[in-house]
Structure 1
Amino acid sequence: MSALAAKSLTRLLRSGFIAALLLSGAAHALTPEAIARLALGESDEKIEAINAIVAAGDASAIPLLQALQEGRLQTAGERVLIVDGETAIDAASRQAISPLPENREDVLVNNRLRRALGAAIAALRLASNDRDVRLAAALALQGEADESLLPAIGKAFAKETDPEIKNQLALIGAATQLQSDDAATRLAAVKALAQGNSQNTRALLLGLLEKKGDAYVERDPAIRAEAQRSLNAVESRIANGERIAQIFSGISLGSILLLAALGLAITYGLMGVINMAHGEMIMIGAYATWLVQNAFRDYAVGYFDWYLLCAVPVAFAAAALVGMLVERSVIRWLYGRPLETL
């Protein structure tokens, strides 16, 4: 990301970070009252409870939110249960419940609530110590974040040290700021989105340039002009990526055809036999690899990650042995008679 875009995003997210710091005193938003609102409240109350949990950065709420998202949150009177098969725990006290109450009722989740839960879980995972978890969370927030998540995004942006994740958070923050009523904020967000290279970013910028009736979605002509410049930059970056992918695919396919051609040339040049069984030999090697993989899974699961080191020589040996058998039993009788080998 360019220095100008980074500076713009820092300004954009600063307000969210300050808000997050102000809310950080509520380190644990998962109170019995919040749990009751999640389980027993109306949709708007549930959304408010989810937003409060995210604003507080209470990662301990992730299992509860996941249970609600997956339909495993149930109520039994005033009690809220996280159910897993035939077992359950009380969401407030964390105590195991046995036997399960018979008067349990499912907590219903609509599409709006399900989207909010997915975004909230991803936002809370931005605080994980695992880099892969944070990256996956940032990617999950693309196109899903709204202004209610801006404090969490701002806090994560301020703490993040990984350049790739920081760039993703910057773009998410910019996309969120497009909803702002302040023209300067929207303009800075549009400039920051110029650093994107995804179809989601392209769709956001295209949305600003669309017309609804006689009016543009974005009424400010200066912002529309900047959005067009950002869109051109994003589309150019996407096109370059697609060209690189096409070149790679062409080289890959050409390599396969080259190997087939070399095999035909060598066998015909040395033995005078046209052998078209390349595919069968590849299949035998693949089947041998599959057998080795299953053997490691069944008998050496602790070393499963290393099965490929054993599978490659086994595949070569299996294909070579079958090739020798075919040569001894069939091909040796056809040397110098290419037409009969077709």
Structure 2
Amino acid sequence: MKFTHKPWIWAAVAGLGALLSFASHALTAEQAYAMAAADDAEQRVQAINQAVLAPDAQVDGGRLAAYLSALSNDEVRVAQGRAYVLSGDAATDPATGEAAKLPADAEEVVNNNYLRSVIDTAQAALALGSRDVSARRRAAGKLAAEPDAERLPVIEKALAGETDAQVRDLLARARAASLLDSEDLQQRLQAVEQLAHQKTPETQLLLNQRLSGESDPGVQKAIKAALAGIEESLAWGDRIGAAFSGISLGSVLLLAALGLAITYGLMGVINMAHGELIMIGAYATYLVQVAFQRWVPEAAFGWYLVVAIPVSFLAAALVGAILERGVIRFLYGRPLETLLATFGISLVLQQTVRSVFGAQNVGVENPGWMSGGIALLPNLTLPWNRIAIIVFAFAVLAAVALMIARTRLGLFVRGVTQNRAMASCVGVNTARTDTYAFALGSGIAGLAGCALSQIGNVGPDLGQNYIVDSFLVVVLGGVGQLAGTVYAALGLGVLSKLLEGWTGAVLAKIAVLLFIVIFIQKRPQGIFALKGRSAET
């Protein structure tokens, strides 16, 4: 894309000297506001830029900002050389801020796309003088995203008095990007050198655009060298981002498969309704959010997720316990029949949810403390909601491992799954233990639904997206092995994201499935095989 000068109308805006020379014959406030709404585009641009750039212009900055906002929102009328700002049915004089009577022949001021761009730039220039650093950052980012040599006076004036490092970096990028179109060879080389130190995707785009329109070999060589350095820096951001995305996906798979590792891995039940238990946890989170929105003060809304975690666990665990007592208890030792029975139950649960909540997805908002992210590199921002889910997944894993290994319930579950007859002989209530174990696995699925509600919409088909992957994780990791579940979930997550970067999502999914098929053929017991007597039964 070749950098060229703006159309003739930008010539009317003039450069720094022409703009500042207006101070010697400054417009009055009334004249400036009227000219900013005039039919003649050249007059409007001149008035707007004079008001913004001339330090001794007679237009007050606060009033000008409000006037430009009204002009942008088509709330300005002009009649007999005077401008009026409408607010409902009332009209005010923008120069004085006092109420005024709108003449009957007042006409609406119409802005084309170019004039809206001029107004936006003027608003950004005014915002550079704001005391709010976030407002200055937004304004500097806008100027950096739309570089133009005509805006250099605004940028240099702001740079002279700016103290915030981020704003200064954005303004420096905007200044250098504006100089890329300079006719002076040295200025273009200086601009390339300055942009080479700002290793961002925006800088890479600017330099690539300039390279296609640059005719000087020396500048071309400098641009290519700068692009090489930027590409290498951004490549690290892409690599780290892919690894983080893989760990994030792995943590989601871990949460989804952890409950299945108990119901299928330890109890031998092929629970095709596991995805619907995840869905129940997500809808429980949604209901808690609705309750907080209706009956809890707005300031406490961010705490709804803390309440939703135990609620989602209990809701899914209750459904799981009913499912085990009503159906599964009669099918132990017959895995294929559990598959058919739970598949039918999954359809019933989906239709029940559709009847109660509707077929459309429902939205679950992130709490304020989970919004945004942490910027590690210019092209790498780690979202807080993903970080929270990773931490949550490993916290749930630690709690499950501790319960299985250290508690009386965990001892009973291990005893019943390894040798039901012997456990019964020593006084263990096997039927109750089965119910507790299945409810535990179901409750963990509910926690997975609570986590998934924070990264996507909640709908009746939510669980269907994870049921197959959950079984793959459990089988690949080794039936009955929590450690294998962890390795398999994280491994599949990272492998999927790395392959997606090379082959695309569809081919990556096919490649992962082929890998699992080949791996299971070579090692049917999974990553971690059962050892001892339990492996012989």
TM-score tier, shorter chain, comes to: 0.7 to 0.9
Pick from 198, 205, 208 the counterpart of residue 206 of structure 1.
208
Cα distance in 2 between the residues matched to 1:287 and 1:143: 41
- Which residue does the alignment assign to 1:170? 172
* TM-aligned CA deviation for residue 277 of structure 1: 3.0
Given the alignment of the two structures, is residue 303 of structure 1 paired with residue 300 of structure 2, yes or no?
A: yes
1:273-326: CA deviation from partner (whole Å, max 9, x where unpaired): 112334323322222222232333333223334433333333333333333333
**Maintained 8 Å contact 1:55/1:149:** no
Residues 99-118 of structure 1 mapped to structure 2, 5 A cutoff: 101-118=103-120
Cα distance in 1 between the residues matched to 2:322 and 2:32: 72
Cα distance in 2 between the residues matched to 1:182 and 1:59: 37
* TM-aligned CA deviation for residue 201 of structure 1: 2.0
Cα distance in 2 between the residues matched to 1:236 and 1:71: 46
- Which residue does the alignment assign to 1:68? 71
* TM-aligned CA deviation for residue 190 of structure 1: 0.7
Q: Percent identity?
A: 47
- Which residue does the alignment assign to 2:414? none
- Which residue does the alignment assign to 1:96? 99
* TM-aligned CA deviation for residue 156 of structure 1: 2.5
| Distance change >3 Å, CA 119–CA 320, structure 1 → 2 | farther
Residues 1-342 of structure 1 mapped to structure 2, 5 A cutoff: 31-56=29-54, 58-97=61-100, 101-210=103-212, 217-299=213-295, 300-342=297-339
Cα distance in 1 between the residues matched to 2:28 and 2:304: 45
The unaligned stretches of length 5 or more in structure 1 are 1-17, 211-216
Cα distance in 2 between the residues matched to 1:288 and 1:29: 64
Cα distance in 2 between the residues matched to 1:261 and 1:291: 24
Q: Secondary structure at the match of 1:109?
A: coil
1:18-67: CA deviation from partner (whole Å, max 9, x where unpaired): 99xx89x99x9882111111101511221222222221473542221122
Cα distance in 2 between the residues matched to 1:266 and 1:71: 63
| Distance change >3 Å, CA 331–CA 103, structure 1 → 2 | farther
Cα distance in 1 between the residues matched to 2:306 and 2:319: 21
1:44-94: CA deviation from partner (whole Å, max 9, x where unpaired): 221222222221473542221122222222224433222234444322221
**Maintained 8 Å contact 1:273/1:335:** yes
| Distance change >3 Å, CA 134–CA 278, structure 1 → 2 | farther
**Maintained 8 Å contact 2:268/2:335:** yes
| Distance change >3 Å, CA 59–CA 235, structure 1 → 2 | farther
Give the superposed CA RMSD. Answer: 2.8
| Distance change >3 Å, CA 202–CA 269, structure 1 → 2 | closer
Q: Secondary structure at the match of 2:197?
A: coil
* TM-aligned CA deviation for residue 126 of structure 1: 1.9
**Maintained 8 Å contact 1:51/1:148:** no
Cα distance in 2 between the residues matched to 1:308 and 1:265: 25
| Distance change >3 Å, CA 309–CA 261, structure 1 → 2 | closer
Cα distance in 1 between the residues matched to 2:104 and 2:299: 43
Cα distance in 1 between the residues matched to 2:321 and 2:54: 69
Cα distance in 2 between the residues matched to 1:282 and 1:84: 51
Which one-letter code corresponds to 1:234 in the other structure? I
1:253-290: CA deviation from partner (whole Å, max 9, x where unpaired): 22223333333222123322112334323322222222
Structure-2-length-normalised TM-score: 0.53
| Distance change >3 Å, CA 104–CA 315, structure 1 → 2 | farther
Which one-letter code corresponds to 2:265 in the other structure? G
Which one-letter code corresponds to 1:294 in the other structure? V
Structure-1-length-normalised TM-score: 0.81
**Structure of higher RCO (CA pairs closer than 8 Å, 6+ residues apart):** 2
Cα distance in 1 between the residues matched to 2:331 and 2:226: 66
Cα distance in 2 between the residues matched to 1:39 and 1:183: 39
Which one-letter code corresponds to 1:268 in the other structure? Y
Cα distance in 2 between the residues matched to 1:86 and 1:318: 54
Which one-letter code corresponds to 1:320 in the other structure? A
**Maintained 8 Å contact 1:177/1:186:** yes
Number of aligned positions between the proteins: 314
Cα distance in 2 between the residues matched to 1:308 and 1:130: 31
Which one-letter code corresponds to 1:242 in the other structure? D
**Maintained 8 Å contact 2:34/2:78:** no
**Maintained 8 Å contact 2:263/2:269:** yes
